[in-house]
Chains A and B, each alone.
Chain A
Amino acid sequence: MIRLDHASRWYGQVIGLNDVTCQIGPGLTALLGMNGAGKTTMMRLITGQLRPTTGSVRLFGLDPFANPEVYRHLGYCPEIDSFYEHLSGRQFVRMMARLTGFSAREAEQRTTRTLERVGMADRADRRIGGYSKGMRQRIKLAQAMIHEPEVILLDEPLNGLDPVGRRRFIDLLGDLASAGACIVVSSHILYEVEQMTRSLLLLHRGRLLATGDLRVIRSLIDKHPHQVRLQTDEPRRAAELLASLPNVVSLRFTPGDEALELEVREPDKFYDALPELVLNQGLRLQGLSSPDNNLESVFKYLVEA
């Protein structure tokens, strides 16, 4: 659906996006990076509000720059939320529906339906000026999905949402994505992204650092062995047994001998061998976790590299 081919965007002397090549298909994809990494620039290139300085951006094979034909299939929820303060949420969403091209009746019906879907039906007739940040986010999402676009782009959509609202928002995005919509969410908050998806585009200083599934990306980072934490009441015996496995790089006892921390290479082989060892040797394990098999660690390893 979305394809960037060596796309770069310069702002005068400053580079916003540097030679990015990637494809984004159906499902929920997170655009991840620190502030200034180029997430918003990439969003704006995809939404056709900026033209790449070099390279190309294509949506459904079309150049999105100032191309209303592409916008029929695109919903965009920008980060900035100060719209028309004098309008009510319902008026704003209905106006956007009309602008998309729906008849008055269709726009009204869709507005009601979409506001219910984003949980704003009961507050939709209040002025946007009186809305909280979270309510504005939902109204923005409503206007982005009012025309059931194939691609929905959301720039930092969880900013300002309370935990309950955040959960509902993530669930809603998940529903849309699992039904086949292409949803791209930009964020710099790792734990938020981790709750939403494992499919990532990781940007750093304008460059695409990594793309794909989080676990696959992690497994490809050879420089940092995977950390495995085993909770057992006999850590020394466990250490003796596990040390014989070929993929174990190091072993460390936690203070108080409550757990054993290992560094392993090729974790899949390690996880294959572990059950046999546990069963054959009667090793009692209370817990098993992988502290660095998460987005934060992947991000840290990649950015530090």
Chain B
Amino acid sequence: MASPIADLSYRSYDGPLLPPTMRWWVVAKSVMRLAIRKKGFWVWANLSYYWFIILAAVFYFVDVLAPTLPGGANPFFSRIVWKDQFLDAFSIAQMFLFIIALLIGAGAIANDNRSNALLVYLSKPCSKLDYLFGKWMAIFLILVAITGVPTLLFFVYGLLSYRHYGFISQDPALFWRLLVMIPVPAAFHASACLGISSLFNQGRMAGATYAGIYFLSLFFTKAMVVIQIIAMDGPRGDPSRVPSIVNTLFYASVDGLQIGLAKVILQTDGGHLLSGPGGPPVPPAPNGWLFTALYLLACGGFLAIAWQRVRAVEVVRG
């Protein structure tokens, strides 16, 4: 028979807890752990810096094999604009960054919606802000690492090997510009992934939607290239004949927005190292203020969608 005196031995925990500011890190770690377990992630992450490998190989062989002018100057290196090489590699990596973002970010919230994990997450002492910030930081940090590591390694390689060809003297602030440029795609993709992912209950649907936006906007960019060539009267024509609106609309895509901003940060219009004259036209850098505002607006918009959509319980509205 039970004792008439109540057993009040149950004690709830009143010991120390991590500060609330650290809760996001638990969320972020779980996303990152899941990401690095995917084979596809490593494949695409390694492909994303292939242009740096090509550049390093070209530079090495030109340095070793090509003849030099009297005085030790190599005409190939004398023509190189170093920050354009970073811009090229950055531009080429965009597609891979997008694919990686899809892999790790498309299901970030959608999968939680599907499995109702939000019910559990948001019944812990973890706020919606912790949850969203954790998810955002996970995607952001991974993409920053994928963009940043090869960029900075190439910078070190250039610094050690090509200082006498103006690697630093062309733009003494190059390192700092690169540091500002590296997080640009990471922040954009992290925001876009969260915003789109929060709209769906399946990661695949979120991924397909983001891919649709990406490729449709890319198609638009390609259409602008065609218009540019027509306006220039052929690829070797006069770039000044291209209407400025066409040059601006060239950047009206997921990649374009980031490449445009990278041009603004690096303060260059860009140029192709290997294609030479007759290659695709290179639109000038866009208006910096306009593109910074558009970039922030896009990121903020996606995050606002995620903020609005993330809730533990789906509420039917009448």
Chain A interface (Cβ within 8 Å of chain B)? Answer: 10-14, 44, 47-50, 66, 68-69, 71-74, 76, 78, 80, 82-87, 95-96, 98-103, 106, 140, 143, 147-150, 176, 178-181
Task: Provide the main secondary structure of the chain B interface.
Answer: loop
Given contacts A76-B123, A83-B115, A179-B10, contact A99 B34 (CB under 8 A): no
Give me the 6 closest cross-chain CB pairs, A-B, nearest first. Answer: A12-B318, A101-B17, A179-B10, A76-B123, A180-B10, A49-B312
Which B residues are CB-close (under 8 A) to A140? 120
Chain B interface (Cβ within 8 Å of chain A)? Answer: 2, 6-13, 15-20, 22-23, 26-27, 30, 34, 37, 114-117, 119-128, 311-313, 315-318
Task: Provide the main secondary structure of the chain A interface.
Answer: loop
Given contacts A11-B316, A179-B7, contact A150 B120 (CB under 8 A): no
Inter-chain contact total with CB atoms closer than 8 Å: 115
Q: When chains A and B are docked, how far (Å) is the Cα of A102 from the Cα of B125?
A: 11
Given contacts A100-B17, A101-B23, contact A148 B125 (CB under 8 A): no
Given contacts A71-B123, A96-B124, contact A103 B117 (CB under 8 A): no
Q: In the complex, which residue of chain B has the Cβ closest to the Cβ of A48?
A: B123
Task: Check B316 against A179 for contact (C-beta < 8 Å).
Answer: no
Q: When chains A and B are docked, how far (Å) is the Cα of A48 from the Cα of B123?
A: 8
Task: Check B127 against A66 for contact (C-beta < 8 Å).
Answer: yes
Which B residues are CB-close (under 8 A) to A14? 316
Given contacts A44-B313, A179-B7, A179-B10, contact A83 B120 (CB under 8 A): yes
Q: When chains A and B are docked, how far (Å) is the Cα of A178 from the Cα of B8?
A: 7
Q: In the complex, which residue of chain B has the Cβ closest to the Cβ of A149?
A: B12
Q: When chains A and B are docked, how far (Å) is the Cα of A68 from the Cα of B23?
A: 11
Task: Check A99 against B318 for contact (C-beta < 8 Å).
Answer: no
Given contacts A72-B125, A101-B17, contact A86 B9 (CB under 8 A): no
With beta carbons under 8 angstroms apart, the residue of B12, B16, B30, B120 that contacts A78 is B120
Q: When chains A and B are docked, how far (Å) is the Cα of A128 from the Cα of B276?
A: 56
Minimum distance in angstroms from B103 CB to a CB of chain A: 14
With beta carbons under 8 angstroms apart, the residue of A68, A69, A95, A179 that contacts B30 is A95
Minimum distance in angstroms from A62 CB to a CB of chain B: 13
Q: When chains A and B are docked, how far (Å) is the Cα of A106 from the Cα of B6?
A: 30
Task: Check B120 against A96 for contact (C-beta < 8 Å).
Answer: yes
A sample of 14 inter-chain contacts (CB < 8 A) reads A44-B312, A68-B125, A69-B125, A72-B17, A78-B120, A84-B30, A85-B115, A95-B30, A99-B27, A100-B124, A101-B125, A148-B11, A149-B13, A180-B7
**Listed residue (A44, A49, A82) with the most chain B CB atoms within 10 angstroms of its CB:** A49
Q: In the complex, which residue of chain B has the Cβ closest to the Cβ of A80?
A: B116
Task: Check B123 against A47 for contact (C-beta < 8 Å).
Answer: yes
Which B residues are CB-close (under 8 A) to A86? 34, 37
Which B residues are CB-close (under 8 A) to A179? 7-10
Q: When chains A and B are docked, how far (Å) is the Cα of A98 from the Cα of B114?
A: 23
Which A residues are CB-close (under 8 A) to B115? 80, 82-85
Minimum distance in angstroms from B217 CB to a CB of chain A: 32
Q: In the complex, which residue of chain B has the Cβ closest to the Cβ of A64?
A: B123
Given contacts A86-B34, A147-B13, A178-B2, contact A101 B315 (CB under 8 A): no
Task: Check A150 against B12 for contact (C-beta < 8 Å).
Answer: yes
With beta carbons under 8 angstroms apart, the residue of B12, B114, B120, B318 that contacts A76 is B120
Task: Check B318 against A180 for contact (C-beta < 8 Å).
Answer: no
Which B residues are CB-close (under 8 A) to A176? 10
Task: Check A103 against B18 for contact (C-beta < 8 Å).
Answer: yes
Task: Check A49 against B318 for contact (C-beta < 8 Å).
Answer: no
Minimum distance in angstroms from B282 CB to a CB of chain A: 45
Which A residues are CB-close (under 8 A) to B20? 68, 101
Task: Check B124 against A10 for contact (C-beta < 8 Å).
Answer: no
Task: Check B116 against A82 for contact (C-beta < 8 Å).
Answer: yes
Q: When chains A and B are docked, how far (Å) is the Cα of A103 from the Cα of B121?
A: 18
Task: Check B12 against A73 for contact (C-beta < 8 Å).
Answer: yes
Minimum distance in angstroms from A52 CB to a CB of chain B: 12
Minimum distance in angstroms from B71 CB to a CB of chain A: 61
With beta carbons under 8 angstroms apart, the residue of B11, B124, B315 that contacts A71 is B124
